Amino acid sequence: MKGIADIRAQIGRVNQLMGRELPQRLYRSVFRGNYPSTVRQQLGAVVNNLILHVHPTRVYERSIKAKTTFGLGLICFYLFIIEWITGVFLMFYYEPSTGAAYGRILDLHYTVSFGRVMRNLHRWAAEAMVVAVALHMCRVFYTGAYKPPREFNWVLGVILFLLTLALSFTGYLLPWDQLSFWAVTVGTNIVSYAPVLGPKLRFLLRAPSFAFSFSAATPWAALRCFAFTPCTSSPFPRSPR
> What is the number of domains present in the chain?
2
241 belongs to a structural domain: no
119 and 228 together in one domain: yes
100 has pLDDT over 70: yes
154 belongs to a structural domain: yes
pLDDT band at 237 (very low <50, low <70, confident <90, very high): very low
Find all residues with CB under 8 Å of 43, minimum gap 6, and list them.
Answer: 57, 58
**What whole-number percentage of the chain has pLDDT above 90?**
20
149 belongs to a structural domain: yes
Distances (CA, A) of 184 to 100, 107, 118, 124: 17, 23, 24, 21
Q: Residue 96's pLDDT is what?
A: 78
Q: How far apart are CA 44 and CA 18, in angstroms?
A: 33
Instruction: Name the nearest CA neighbour of 115 among 138, 91, 97.
Output: 91
79 belongs to a structural domain: yes
36 belongs to a structural domain: yes
pLDDT in tens, 163-175: 898 888 888 888 8
Residue 18 structural domain: 2-52
44 and 80 together in one domain: no
229 belongs to a structural domain: yes
131 and 25 together in one domain: no
Continuous H helices in 31-71? 39-47, 66-69
Residues in the chain, total: 241
Q: Residue 209's pLDDT is what?
A: 40
Range with lowest mean pLDDT among 10-24, 41-55, 103-117, 122-136: 10-24
Q: Residue 19's pLDDT is what?
A: 59
Find all residues with CB under 8 Å of 232, minimum gap 6, and list them.
Answer: 80, 160, 163, 164, 167
Q: Calculate mean pLDDT across residues 75-79.
A: 92
pLDDT in tens, 105-159: 999 999 999 999 999 999 999 999 999 999 999 999 998 888 887 888 899 899 9
73 and 14 together in one domain: no
Q: How far apart are CA 146 and CA 186, in angstroms?
A: 34
Q: How far apart are CA 204 and CA 212, in angstroms?
A: 11
pLDDT in tens, 195-213: 888 888 887 776 544 444 4
Q: Residue 76's pLDDT is what?
A: 92
86 and 168 together in one domain: yes
59 belongs to a structural domain: no
- Interhelix angle 115-142/101-110, rounded to 10 degrees, is 100
Q: How far apart are CA 205 and CA 217, in angstroms?
A: 9
Decide: residue 216, CB within 10 A, 0-12 exposed, 13-18 middle, 19+ buried.
buried
> 63 or 71: which carries more pLDDT confidence?
71
Continuous H helices in 143-177? 151-173
Q: How far apart are CA 77 and CA 98, in angstroms?
A: 32
80 and 146 together in one domain: yes
Instruction: Name the nearest CA neighbour of 232 among 114, 133, 149, 141.
Output: 133
Whole-number average pLDDT of the chain: 78
Continuous H helices in 192-240? 198-205, 218-223, 229-233
> 20 or 128: which carries more pLDDT confidence?
128
40 and 116 together in one domain: no
Which of 52, 76, 94 terminates a domain? The answer is 52
Instruction: Name the nearest CA neighbour of 241 among 59, 39, 42, 43.
Output: 59
> What does DSSP assign to residue 56?
-
Q: How far apart are CA 30 and CA 87, in angstroms?
A: 33
